[in-house]
Amino acid sequence: MWIFGRKGASGFSASSTAEDVTKGIDATGLTAIVTGASSGIGFETTRVLALHGVHVVMAVRNIESGQKVKENIASEIPNAKVDVMELDLSSLASVRKFAAEFVSSNLPLNILM
């Protein structure tokens, strides 16, 4: 059993943050789609990716909530490249619409979370 705070072979522990793990990484030029990006781990993933220069497409069910998160990130990271697009993974029609809109954006897809 791991004891909290004890570092593993990677040099990280259970208390390591996403910022700790990504320290020193320049991901400028990459594009990521993050599902569930308006709350929880999706929000934190979006924030940290944007912090490292990734162009993040927030795939969210609620555009209004997504816009608020985007504004929150922009206030912390002024040069963040973040877009908000509607996606409801329980609806195949929504998935198809999202995919078509993303393809028409001509952005590469380097990371899907």
**Residue 63's CATH number:** 3.40.50.720
Q: Range of 32's domain?
A: 26-112
Residue 98 domain-assigned (yes or no) = yes
**What distance in Å separates the CA atoms of residue 97 and residue 101, rounded to the nearest whole number?**
6
Reported confidence tier of residue 4, pLDDT bands at 50, 70, 90:
low
Q: Which residues contact 73 (CB under 8 A, 6 or more apart)?
A: 46, 47, 50, 80, 82
Residue 20 domain-assigned (yes or no) = no
Residue 5 domain-assigned (yes or no) = no
How many domains does the chain divide into?
1
* Sign (positive or negative) of CA dihedral 93, 44, 77, 31: negative
Residue 32 domain-assigned (yes or no) = yes
Question: Is residue 24 helix, strand or coil?
Answer: coil
Residue 8 domain-assigned (yes or no) = no
Residue 9 domain-assigned (yes or no) = no
Q: Which pLDDT tens digit goes with each residue over 26-67?
A: 999 999 999 999 999 999 999 999 999 999 999 999 999 999
* Sign (positive or negative) of CA dihedral 42, 45, 50, 55: negative
The pLDDT value recorded for residue 111 is 97
The pLDDT > 90 percentage for the chain reads 78
The pLDDT value recorded for residue 81 is 97
